[in-house]
């Protein structure tokens, strides 16, 4: 099974294990935290187990955006970890597949190198494709 995740800082991971997914969420370049601990405080647990994250954390990790999610992990040493994530809709998961992303990178390299053409209309585009097809 492969996992796909887009972190709050915009990083996409298409990974083979939950361990790799968790590691990817903590990639270099993630939003900075203040001081050695970052944020420290206490949250009240409301009825039905609801907690509200402080606004500064919701904004820093883009948890104020629609579709934002928090991954929760209960560790054996009694620590509960929360990791911000932005879910990728199943209908868009194909775009984040390793093979598709490799193709996106290849296209970006062609664009950067100026290896592109533009056409004023569909007829010119199709004629260009025919020329390319004939040369192969």
Q: Alpha-carbon distance 64 to 118, whole Å? A: 40
3-state helix, strand, coil in the chain (%, to 5): 40, 15, 45
Look at the block and give the residue holding tokens 């296209």. Answer: 107
Selection from 53, 2, 9 nearest residue 30 by Cα: 9
pTM for this predicted structure: 0.41
pLDDT per position in the chain (136 positions), as tens?
Answer: 444 444 444 444 444 444 444 454 444 444 444 444 577 788 888 989 898 888 888 888 888 887 788 889 999 998 888 888 877 777 888 888 889 999 999 999 999 999 998 999 999 999 999 988 888 7
Is 34 in contact with 50 (CB distance < 8 Å)?
A: no
Q: What is the DSSP letter of 94?
A: G
């Amino acid at each position: 099974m492969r996992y796909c995740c887009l972190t709050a800082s915009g990083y996409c991971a298409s990974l083979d294990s939950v361990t790799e997914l968790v590691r990817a969420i903590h990639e270099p370049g993630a939003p900075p935290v203040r001081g050695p601990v970052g944020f420290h405080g206490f949250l009240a647990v409301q009825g039905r187990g609801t907690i509200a994250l402080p606004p500064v954390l919701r904004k820093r990790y883009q948890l104020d955006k629609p579709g934002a999610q928090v991954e929760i992990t209960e560790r054996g040493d009694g620590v509960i970890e929360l990791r911000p994530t932005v879910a990728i809709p199943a209908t868009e998961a194909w775009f984040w597949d390793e093979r598709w992303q490799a193709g996106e990178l290849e296209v970006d390299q062609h664009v950067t190198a100026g290896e592109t053409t533009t056409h004023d209309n569909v007829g010119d585009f199709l004629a260009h494709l025919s020329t390319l097809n004939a040369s192969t």
